[in-house]
Each structure stands twice: as C-alpha cells, then as structure tokens.
Amino acid sequence: MINKDGNTYYIVNAKALPDIFIKTMEVKELLKRGEVTTIHDAVEQVGISRGAYYKYKDYIFPFYELSQGKIITFALILEHASGILSEVLNQIAKAGGSILTINQNIPAHGIANVTISLETKNMNMNIEELINSIKKLQGVKEVNILGKE
C-alpha cells in the first residue's frame, strides 16, 4: 500500500486485474505513443466503450509513473561470483539512476543478498525497464521492489 496525496495505492500484478483495467491502460499507451490520435479510435481498437475508459483512466497507471523522482529500494538475489554486482550497478548507471545505498550480506551457499536504494528522478528509462534489464543479467536470480519513498 502506497499513500500519496491522501490516496491509497496498491501494487497489483496485472494478471489479477479485471480485463477493463488492462484495456484502459492499452488505450492510454496507444494515445501516449501516438499510434492513434483520438480517444474514439483508441477505445475502438482496444474494444471498450468511451464511458468505460473515462470511468477508469484516472485510477490506473503503470508503476513507473508513481516511481518517477522517487527513491526505490530493490532486494536482489545474486550468484556469488566476481563481477555480477558490478554489472547490476552498471545497468543502474546506464539508466541514469543515482545509487544512494548498497548493502550486501555475506554470501552463503553461493548466493548473495543485496539491497540497493536509488533515486529515480534523472532516469532515462522507467523502473519496469530497469528491473527487466537487471533480471536478464547472468547471475541475477531475483529482483524485487522492497519499497518506494
């Protein structure tokens, strides 16, 4: 649960959402990318009514919109091998993230637990893209968001 401006927000996996929310996001993305020029064209392409779009458009948005200009804390599980943490830090640097803290526990059974907090305000990609790029790195077992300020 994230409180912002007196509102309560939840992070929910898209698989658990009703289809109307997903389609509302699709309309917003079509408009944002300029693939369509009118809301009418976008809702027609996605297959929802204009009324449904207007009902939900102000209540659903991608996680990265909430995380812009914020501090995000990640928990990572990495193989204990030379250079893996360095590659993660390089990905964050390429994205324009500003690392605030790094905490690595002593590796056990070939696995290292790492917590990284970073500031997102100067990032040139959204948090989802950064997470996906980190997950693709060799030796990265898991990446989770612990919190957002």
The pTM is what?
0.58
CA angle 21, 8, 46 (to 5 degrees): 10
Superfamily holding 68-148: ACT domain (3.30.70.260)
β-strands 98-104, 111-119: how paired? Answer: antiparallel
| Percent with pLDDT over 70 in the chain | 91
Tell me the C-alpha distance between 37 and 90, whole Å.
38
Top pLDDT among 93 and 6 is at: 93
Mean pLDDT across the chain: 87
Contact 136, 73 (CB under 8 A): no
Cα 40 to Cα 31, 47, 61, 95, 139, distances in angstroms: 10, 10, 20, 35, 46
Domain segments of the chain: what residues? 2-61, 68-148
Segment 56-110, tens digit of pLDDT: 988 887 765 554 557 889 999 999 999 999 999 999 999 999 999 999 999 999 9
